[in-house]
Amino acid sequence: MKTVEVTADMPLSDVADAVSTESILLTRDHEPFAAVVSLHELTSDTLRLKVVQDFREVVERARAEYRAGKYSTLEEVKREFGL
């Protein structure tokens, strides 16, 4: 995977050119913040499976945090947001 340092004045076309042949990792101030995946490497089925897997991982992490007592009650959330 290629890495591209993104700047505020970088045209989107530069990013598109970079991703035309391979996936790239975007960085800002040398810190990764996003990945752009080339469609040449990805089928719609592969993408769908990846999204489902990512969602499953989020759900499992949330369940583990809940079991560990790391959650907020509805009243705490309302108080925090002034509702």
Q: What are the pLDDT digits (tens) for 21-59?
A: 777 888 888 888 888 877 776 677 777 777 777 888 888
* pLDDT higher at 15 or 71: 71
Asked if the model's pLDDT at residue 73 lies above 90, the reply is: no
Q: How many domains does the chain have?
A: 2
- Are residues 37 and 21 part of one domain? yes
* pLDDT higher at 60 or 16: 60
The chain-wide mean pLDDT, for the chain, equals: 82
- Tokens for 33, please give them: 């913040």
Q: Which domain holds residue 72?
A: 43-83
* pLDDT higher at 74 or 7: 74
Task: Quote the CA–CA distance of 30 and 69 in Å, as a whole number.
Answer: 35
> Per-residue b/e over 16-45, b at no fewer than 16 CB within 10 Å?
eebbeeebbebeeeeeeeeebeeeeeeeee
- Are residues 51 and 37 part of one domain? no
